[in-house]
């Protein structure tokens, strides 16, 4: 324990909370830069033996979950903020772990200390059930003894940004978080403050399309119906029809860049409308003869998600109107482009 942490714990009214969210590298990183957090430590909780090693835990026989123990100043950050940071950094519906990390040690849980934490954690869990109309796999458990992991696991994302970035991208965790939480998703890649420019620009990759079972688990019912079964969301009752922020729109399934706010316009239709794609190669057109008419359907090239339709009644210079379902999109604001691996599009917004 360093001197700064000792002093903080001595003079600050510190409190402690513990979350199990799959790989503890990822959960520790989620709290590293959160104002009010004094320390975040990777370790283990919930098992049957004392002082387990990492290898004992990953073998799956100790009952421990990979966890992060957060020491924080309640005068600067609330328990509820820490709790929702946890939810927005996990897939609460996955029963066997998180993304590619599967096994009993990767199961998710909010470990609680006392009745107040239990009430808040249980209430937030119920809010997620009510919002998505799905059961939540994440449990609310009584906190027990916490055992720090070996030193090489601590601050892994900061000490090994390239390896962490490769792991995070390869595991597919960000895609799942984005599909579930959209703009609410937690940190989606290596922090821009710790990664080199080369790593930041190289992190974004188009993710392969998941199985139908995974799509049903990670997408909301509306997102699934629109992208997979050519559904149409309600006009004026969707996420982005009146979004005026600067940024880009990517496929909610694969993350492939599709449209930019620089090409967005008010069409009066109640759906997001664009004059052209951001990346023409990521948008495909096909003839749609449903509803007793002929229209031009728009789909994403890699995920084959149904996006909407394109019409020839748009403004200059293209004269086109790409009428797109918000449910097919995830919006990435300008100030998040670099951190999420889309730094190459920053030039669009420099004035």
Give me the active site residues, please: 23, 323
H-run or E-run covering 198: helix 197-202
Reading phi first (left if > 0) and then psi (alpha if -120 to 50, else beta), residue 127 is in alpha
- Residues 302-324 as b/e (b if ≥16 CB within 10 A, e otherwise) read bbebbbbbbbeebeeeeebbbbb
- 323 closest CA partner among 254, 226, 256: 226
Angstrom distance (rounded) from CA 29 to CA 27: 5
Query: 302 CB contacts (<8 Å, ≥6 apart)?
Result: 206, 209, 251, 254, 256, 282
- 328 closest CA partner among 275, 280, 283: 283
Contact 349, 246 (CB under 8 A): yes
Please give the C-alpha separations between residue 231 and each of 47, 122, 131, 308, 325, in angstroms, as whole numbers. 46, 34, 20, 9, 9
User: What are the strands of the beta sheet with 329-333, ordered from one edge?
Assistant: 257-260, 247-251, 329-333
Paired residues of 72 in beta bridges: 15, 37
Contact 119, 12 (CB under 8 A): no
What are the φ/ψ torsions at residue 161 (nearest 5 degrees)?
A: -60, -35
- Count other Cβ atoms within 10 Å, centred on residue 3: 7
Contact 283, 249 (CB under 8 A): no
The full DSSP string for 60-115 is T-S--EEEEEEEE-TTTS-HHHHHHHHHTTS-TT-SSEETTEESGGG-EEEEE-HH
């Amino acid at each position: 324990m360093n001197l700064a942490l000792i002093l903080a714990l001595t003079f600050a009214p510190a409190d402690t909370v513990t979350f199990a969210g799959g790989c503890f590298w990822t959960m520790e990183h989620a709290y590293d830069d959160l104002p009010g957090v004094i320390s975040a430590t990777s370790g283990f909780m919930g098992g049957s033996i004392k002082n387990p090693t990492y290898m004992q835990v990953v073998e799956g026989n100790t009952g421990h979950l990979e966890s992060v123990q957060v020491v924080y100043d309640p005068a600067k950050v609330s328990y509820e903020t820490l709790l929702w940071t946890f939810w927005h950094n996990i897939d609460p519906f996955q029963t066997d772990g998180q993304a590619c990390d599967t096994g009993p040690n990767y199961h998710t849980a909010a470990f609680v200390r006392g009745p107040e934490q239990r009430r808040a954690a249980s209430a937030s869990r119920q809010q997620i059930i009510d919002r998505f109309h799905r059961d939540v796999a994440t449990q609310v458990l009584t906190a027990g003894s916490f055992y720090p992991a070996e030193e090489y696991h601590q601050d892994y994302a900061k000490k090994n940004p390239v390896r962490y970035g490769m792991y995070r991208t390869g595991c597919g965790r960000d895609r799942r978080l984005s599909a579930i939480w959209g703009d609410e998703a937690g940190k989606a890649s290596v922090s821009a403050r710790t990664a080199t420019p080369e790593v930041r620009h190289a992190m974004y990759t188009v993710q392969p399309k998941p199985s139908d079972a995974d799509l049903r688990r990670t997408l909301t019912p509306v997102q699934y119906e629109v992208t997979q079964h050519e559904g149409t969301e309600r006009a004026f009752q969707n996420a982005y029809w009146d979004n005026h922020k600067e940024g880009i729109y990517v496929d909610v399934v694969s993350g492939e860049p599709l449209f930019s706010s620089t090409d967005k316009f008010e069409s009066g239709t109640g759906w997001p409308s664009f004059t052209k794609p951001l990346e023409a190669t990521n948008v495909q057109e096909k003839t749609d003869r449903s509803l007793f008419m002929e229209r031009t359907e728009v789909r994403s090239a890699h995920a084959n998600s149904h996006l909407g339709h394109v019409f020839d009644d748009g403004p200059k210079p293209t004269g086109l109107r790409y009428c797109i379902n918000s449910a097919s999109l995830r919006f990435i604001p300008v100030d998040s482009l670099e951190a999420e691996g889309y730094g190459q599009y920053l030039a669009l917004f420099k004035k």
